[in-house]
Amino acid sequence: MTTIMKVLYRPTENHVGVIYSKWGKFKRFANPNEWTLLSSGFEEVTKEVRLDMRTAVIELENVFTSDKVAIDLEMKAYYSVDIRKTHEDRKIQALRFEGEKPWEEIVKTSITDIVRNVVVISRTYYELTSDDGLSYLKQVISGHAANRLQSFGILVNNRFAVSIMNLQPNKTFQEALQEVSAAKAIGNAAVDRIRPLFEQFGDKSQDEAFHALVMQIAAVLGKTDNLPDIAIQNTNDVPFGNRVAGNGNDRFGLNIQRNSMSHRKRIN
């Protein structure tokens, strides 16, 4: 700031001066690049508030979409402060702010609330991660932030104020996606391996196909030392064609128990 004889005052370039009376009451603002006449002994400049662009980085975890997917978001907000434009009901509060931190906290708190409770919750995960979804996030968050922050004299562009730096499912959801992907790959491989076996049954009757499948399984089990528990019910509830597998009387009423030497020899 520049003062002459404590009577003439001009704020630092791109700053607004705040003038109080000597009794501690707010009097007026001093515009940038303009000389202001002070009442000698009755007015003083208490601080200056800069007008240039500021940034705030907002990192959020576990923000839920409409389909209950938890995502992590990293955003950067661009804003400026013009304390002269603060609403009257906010002015006393704003005048007490010291340094940059209070303004940054207001921006972060407002955008966090908008993201969690207004914007992300209204779209599904796959809607938000598309190109249109990312554009939607940027514009809608910026628009809500512009409306909410203006009462504090915080100015943001209502279309481009907030940039989406990173958006991804949180760690738990990523692990679940990896497990599903792995299971799908294993399942597809198993289907590919067993498909030729089922193709052999295409021209067989139901009884013949079932018997051939059981023999295939028995042949595989006979080659391993780690036989699983396999139980084909010996009840009268499992029909096969005109037969009923039950009570061990039918040739299809098989009951293969946990491996032992005697059972493996019997299978072989």
What tokens does 254 get?
């098989």
pLDDT digits (tens, 9 = 90+) for 86-124: 999 999 999 999 888 999 999 999 999 999 999 999 999
What is the chain's mean pLDDT, rounded?
79
Find the mean pLDDT for residues 134-143: 95
pLDDT of residue 205: 64
Residue spans per domain, the chain:
2-48, 54-174, 184-267
- Angstrom distance (rounded) from CA 22 to CA 41: 7
Using one digit for the tens of pLDDT, what is the confidence trace for 2-55? 666 577 899 999 999 999 998 889 999 999 989 998 887 788 999 999 999 999
Sequence-ordered list of residues with C-beta below 8 angstroms from that of 74, at least 6 positions apart, any chain: 57, 58, 59, 60, 164, 165, 166, 167
Q: Are 45 and 1 in contact (CB under 8 A)?
A: yes
Judge: domain 54-174, CATH 3.30.479.30: yes
Cβ atoms within 10 Å of 63's Cβ, excluding its own? 20
**175-189, pLDDT tens digit by residue?**
666 555 555 655 555
- SS3 of 70, please? strand
